[in-house]
Amino acid sequence: MKNRALRTVTLAVAIASLAGTAACGSGGSGGSADKASGPVTIEFWGWAPGYEKSVELFNSTHPGIQVTYSKISPGSKGGYTKMLSAVKAGNAPCVGSVGFETLPTFAAAGALQDATAAAAPFAKEYGASAFAQSGVAGHTYGLPVDIAPMGLIYRKDLFAKFGIHEAPRTWEEYAADAATIHAADPNAYIGYFGNDAYNFAGLAQQAGAKWFATGGEKWSVEVNDAATRKVAAFWQGLIDKKLVKVVPSFDTALYKGMGEGTILSDVNAVWDTPILADSVKQTSGNWAVAPMPVWDAAKPASGNAGGTPNAILKGCAHVKEAVEFAHWFGTDQASVSNLIKETGIYPAALSGLDNPALAEPNPFYGGQKIFDVFRASAAQVDAGFQWGPVMTKTSGALGDGLGKAGAGSTTLEAALADTQAQTVAEMKTQGMGIG
């Protein structure tokens, strides 16, 4: 069977190029065909805090290109659906925030504009993994803004209260510390188990999981591979022993527990640090960030949970200018400084790693320069992890399974098997070849 996923992407590229040609009046994926007499206007949809300020900075320095920013719901909460609907209706913005994990899904849906030619000159200015994840099957659809290395965010003062003066370096130590804390105080937990599928994906990535791959003309799907099952078995053990608090991710109950000092840590991505700081302000100064625990101290590895390119959406009439904006957004030092401070990003651009904002002490985290931890984490992330073409289905099934496993109505092993089955079924429904 031919790989309909790859064929769909290829067809999408062709269709997108044709659409762009029709809109612009001339061909080519890398340039604007418009001979506009005035400033080119580009529409941009996103949701992260601080984006509007970077757009203002761009507009103040680029009289020939003006960007109109619209803040929409986060992608998983309706933003992606809004974008896809707009593409179908022919009135999509030129630029949209589309996470690395969702970009292949947009590509398979034919919702992206090929920007390979326009973006190629900028490739060397980004980390190789971040730039690669801004495209699919050799086509580039945008430029990356940030990546999302993970760490252990923890209550340093309460760990010390329970006699733990160093953050756990391994998952074995994490489990032992979990038992120590809960034995000393039955109301206290080292951390929690939530239902965020992408956080779980980051844990699986750290363990060496390879959920998706393309070979020849087919996709391979291994959501329940051995590495992921190892992660699932570890957390199932903690759940069964009631050593972690089961609570939905990003729920008010989670932050209530963190604020009260009954949930003492969070294994999460860099972008979670400002969310936590804003959610439990009363505990400022008591938190710290450490490397996420590893499976093998001799071979440390980390995970990544998020990261976003500014993607060029199908029908964009000004691809060259849209790419210019997308590149500026993630590389201009003033913009990057704003995004580090307001959004908590970890830059995807190599130049962004020298941004002074990354070296600033963070009062909420006891004056710690927390980005130093994430810098080391980023260097230990497996760049070969590939997202799949139906991630909306995959993440929905996994998130549902994680929630049910936490509630005790299923197991994590069964949740992985179900996610695998639902993912494969959806891909077959869409005519994709499975190897």
Residue 191, pLDDT > 80, answer yes
Q: What is the pLDDT of residue 37?
A: 65
User: SS in 3 state form for 345-414?
Assistant: CEECECHHHHCHHHHCCEHHHCCECCHHHHHHHHCCECCCCCCCCCHHHHHHHHHHHHHHHHHCCCCHHH
Confidence of residue 421 (pLDDT cuts 50, 70, 90): very high
Beta bridge partner(s), residue 349: 126
Structure tokens at 16: 């997108």
The pLDDT of residue 1 is above 50: no
pLDDT of 331 > 80? The answer is: yes
pLDDT tens across 276-291, in order? 999 999 999 999 999 9
Residue 20's Cβ-side half-sphere holds a number of Cα atoms within 13 Å equal to 30
Query: Could you read off the pLDDT of 33-70 as tens digits, one per residue?
Result: 444 467 999 999 999 989 999 999 999 999 999 999 99
* Mean pLDDT score, 310-316: 97
- Average pLDDT over every residue of 251-278: 96
**In angstroms, how far is CA 192 from the centroid of its own chain?**
20
Give the residue-averaged pLDDT of 5-19: 35
Radius of gyration of the chain (CA): 22
352 within 8 A of 125, measured Cβ to Cβ: no
* Residues 120 and 344: beta-carbon distance below 8 Å: no
pLDDT of residue 77: 81
Inform me whether the pLDDT recorded for 392 exceeds 90.
no
- Give the global pTM: 0.85
pLDDT tens figures, 69-92 = 999 998 878 899 999 999 999 999
Least confident of 55-64, 122-131, 159-168, 169-178: 122-131
What is the per-residue pLDDT across 286-306, written as a single tens digit (0 to 9) for each?
Answer: 999 999 999 999 999 999 999
State residue 38's pLDDT score.
77
pLDDT of residue 6: 36
Question: Residue 241: its pLDDT value, please?
Answer: 98
Query: Average model confidence (pLDDT) for the chain?
Result: 90
Nearest-angstrom CA–CA distance, 311 and 45: 10
305 and 150 in contact (C-beta within 8 Å)? yes
Average pLDDT over residues 166-192: 98
pLDDT at 14 over 50: no
Residue keyed to tokens 């080391």 = 376
How many other CB atoms are there within 10 angstroms of residue 175's CB atom?
20
The answer on pLDDT for 388 being more than 80 is yes
Does residue 308 carry a pLDDT above 50?
yes
| Mean pLDDT score, 93-116 | 95
Q: Percent of the chain scored above 90 by pLDDT?
A: 81
* Closest residue by Cα to residue 110 from 306, 311, 319, 307: 311
d(Cα 25, Cα 31) in Å, to the nearest integer? 11
Per mean pLDDT, which range of 94-108, 193-207, 378-392, 395-409 is the poorest? 378-392
